[in-house]
Amino acid sequence: MGTGKEHWTKELERLKATLNNPYDFTIRQDSSAFISKIYLQVERNESNQLKHPTDVLIDKETDSLIICDYENRRVVRWSRSSGITKLEIVINNIKCVRLAMGEQRCIRVSVVEGHEVRRYQLGYKNGTLVAGGNGNVDGLNELIWPKYLFVDREQNVYVSDTNNHRVMK
């Protein structure tokens, strides 16, 4: 097995083949290879497969991928060491769109239903509301279709509030 970029390139090619050639697959390189954007259009219903995954993070600490599995209403982890077929459910019953993780290893999830962003500590099933959550309204403290997320070094969360045409901090 290779290291660094070569290793992840092989892993991502294997993932791509397993997911039946998703149409958008981008890798951005800085100090290490990681996926910056992924939208995979696949239709799988088995518990060990994905159905319309919308985002992915690389968890360097556990050497795994954390994936928004939109249509299966969950966030899952694929451990690189366990092979591509073993999925661990990290968060269940959530229609997530995007993920972000800060230095404190909390996952932020943009949730379509509820128009909200939630924070989850890895290993815990209950999340905390970070933004939005009062439905489809356009007030300054509300979101309509929160999509992309970014967490800065101070753990501030930036959310693209898609249908309000703004970015919120």
Task: Give the strands of the sheet with 157-161, arranged side by side.
Answer: 146-151, 157-161, 166-168
Query: Which string of b and e fits 65-78 if b means at least 16 CB within 10 Å?
Result: bbbbbbebebbbbb
Helix intervals (H) in the chain: 4-18
> pLDDT, tens digit, for every residue of 97-150?
999 998 888 999 999 888 899 999 988 888 999 988 877 666 777 888 888 898
Mean local confidence (pLDDT), 59-65: 85
- Per-residue pLDDT at 63: 83
What is the greatest pairwise CA distance in the chain?
51
Lookup result for tokens 């501030």: 156
- What three-state secondary structure class fits 31? coil
Where are the CATH 2.40.10.500 domain residues in the chain?
Answer: 97-169
Please state the pTM of the whole predicted model.
0.72
Q: Is the pLDDT of residue 88 over 60?
A: yes
**Domain with residues 97-169, CATH architecture:** Beta Barrel (2.40)
- Any idea what the Cα angle at residue 40 is, between residues 159 and 79, rounded to 5°? 85
Q: What is the sign of the dihedral through the CA atoms of 91, 60, 57 and 22?
A: negative
Candidate ranges 26-35, 81-90, 134-143, 149-158; pick with highest mean pLDDT: 149-158
Q: Which residues pair with 116 in a beta bridge?
A: 111, 132
**Domain with residues 1-93, CATH architecture:** Beta Barrel (2.40)
- Residue type at 84 in one-letter notation: I
- Per-residue pLDDT at 94: 92
